[in-house]
Amino acid sequence: MERDFDTVRAVQWRDGRLVLLDQRLLPARTEYVTIDDVQATARAIRDMVVRGAPAIGVSAAYGVVLAARACYARVAEGWREALRADLEVLGAARPTAVNLAWAIARMARRAAVPGTGDPSAALLAEARAIHEEDIAANHRMGELGAALIEGPCGVLTHCNTGSLATGGYGTALGVIRSAYRAGKLSEVYADETRPWLQGARLTAWELRADGIPVRLLVDGAGAHLMAAGKVGWLIVGADRIAANGDVANKIGTYSAAIVARHHGVRVMVVAPGTTVDLATPDGASIPIEQRDPEEVLAFGGRRVAPEGVAAWNPAFDITPAALIDVLVTERGVVQAPDRARMVAVFAPSTAGV
């Protein structure tokens, strides 16, 4: 049987509860967190037990199931009204990833369907559908993205965009998985991705778990790597894509894209259609999450900067559409994305949603 290099599942539903692989502990320990209420779901999202825009959306969907179950047990006649406050708690967990708001809105629409009795079964079916659709979309994106690569060539990726960041298989790493299986990759390189080291801790761990060789490099080495002609593609994910094609992704993506353009390395952004936000006109309109300065000032629990030094710690940056060669989603491939091309692909299927 042909290997699909896909063994990791970070988000699961078991025995009526949400189970998350605690990504803060990787690669040293593989431990799961079992969650049975909405507040714990929001904390897990905020504290990065689970991370990656699609995985956050899937987790939030299951969080709505937990919330509705508790609301119904508390006030059977008014559970929908009680649920609204829980949806707000979930929605505030992380502001940049649009998949979070999308999943909550979809679950809220399902909750609004008239009916009596315990809503848990119907909402769980919807959450499972969101999860399964994400995995199917990732496999489709993997095929579409891999078809664009004329191998064998090296690729560079940033942050973690694989099974750990999604319902399964991955977005940018899904393309890398599919391209590797097709024999199109000579080398996979991963930025370490400071300050949370998602590349070092997560991408390297995940690819190794699936038997895909990977070389790790510090973020600042990417320019030298490209100048040396080691890679033909920079392949990254996205947390939100604006109507004009601007992309919000993990901090460091913008600088990598600038360097790629300078060296003639093509840039591929891979993300599900749920990451496209046509209501956001451009990158300047995307809210950028600011995280605790201690993430920069300390490392592994030990302070590395002098006392009294401040830090600026945005979690994401904006890569302008002009630096992106191709956007891959399960709905299709957008070459040189701009407002007209984005609307042509996404407006019809998002109308009325």
Apex 79 CA angle, 77 and 88, nearest 5: 160
Residue type at position 277: D
Give the residue among 249, 240, 316, 242 at the shortest CA–CA distance from 279: 242
Active site residue 239: yes
**Residue 29: which residues within 8 A CB-CB, separation 6 or more?**
22
Sheet containing 276-277, strands listed edge to edge, beginning at the edge strand earlier in sequence? 276-277, 240-242, 247-250, 316-319
Give the residue among 60, 46, 147 at the shortest CA–CA distance from 104: 60
Neighbour tally for 89: CB within 10 Å: 15
Task: Tell me phi and psi for residue 69, to 5 degrees.
Answer: -60, -45
Q: Which of 86, 134, 239, 317 is an active site residue?
A: 239
| CA count, 13 A, side-chain hemisphere, 295 | 16
Which residues are registered as beta bridge partners of 318? 248
Active site residues: 239
